[in-house]
Amino acid sequence: MKTVRVRNSEQILQVNKVFCLGRNYLEHAREMKAEIPEAPVVFMKPATALLNDGEDIMRPPISKLLHFEAELVVAIGKTGNRVSPIKAKDFIFGYGIGLDMTLRDVQDEAKRKGLPWTTAKGFDTSGPISEIVPMSQITNRQELSFECRVNSVPRQRGSIKNMIFSPEYIVSFLSFIFTLEEGDLIFTGTPEGVGEVGEGDTIEAELLGYTKITHKVKVA
């Protein structure tokens, strides 16, 4: 089972389920030429996809096109289901920054054929994740924002304010389908600016004011 650290704490979260949202920012939906969703687009990564700060991202041999997608990540703090949107914030333990690494060529083929995205999104090392910042340490929930740099060049900037579906809405939505458990993670979707990375590139993703991760890319 994979674990994530909690910022300024000895606490460790055991991760069981990893949910991800597609298309949660208008500009990214446009750049992917995708429709604006009426309900969250949900997929999952296995917990074995997670990668801690500093470890290498490996592009597997089935792909020639690896994309980065920086995303705000929600960590669930307690078990629950059928949680109302009003109550959802009680289930959010904190936030981190993650990368939804994507084999874009594999995903494009899956989309064309109407097949699942599991290999494109769930391969080993596809889920770099930072330590989790607990709500008790977050002073600007309404303004949370993040930045992604590749080889020190800023490429993506995202804010919780620009999400189509808020973290609380997403938690409530998922909880009517899946039992949420302590340590579950939700990658909340990426803003515009996604792009290719390859051998030797360095990706930094930063939850501004709190924490960041740095990963080198290797081609297997």
> What is the binding site for Mg ion (CB under 5 A)?
69, 100, 190
Of the pair 91, 187, the CB lying nearest Mg ion is at 187
Nearest distance from residue 85's CB to Mg ion, in Å? 22
Q: Is 174 exposed, middle or buried (0-12, 13-18, 19+ CB in 10 A)?
A: buried
Nearest distance from residue 214's CB to Mg ion, in Å? 19
Q: Which residue is nearest to Mg ion (CB)?
A: 100
Of the pair 22, 134, the CB lying nearest Mg ion is at 22
Nearest distance from residue 43's CB to Mg ion, in Å? 9
Of the pair 69, 168, the CB lying nearest Mg ion is at 69
* 79 close to 179: Cβ distance less than 8 angstroms: yes
**DSSP character for 152?**
T
Nearest distance from residue 34's CB to Mg ion, in Å? 12
* 147 close to 157: Cβ distance less than 8 angstroms: yes
Of the pair 69, 206, the CB lying nearest Mg ion is at 69
Nearest distance from residue 189's CB to Mg ion, in Å? 6
State the DSSP string of 108-141. Answer: HHHHHHT---HHHHHSTT-EEE--BEEGGG-S-G
Q: Is 82 exposed, middle or buried (0-12, 13-18, 19+ CB in 10 A)?
A: exposed
Q: C-alpha angle 181/122/150, rounded to 5°? A: 105
Of the pair 21, 83, the CB lying nearest Mg ion is at 21
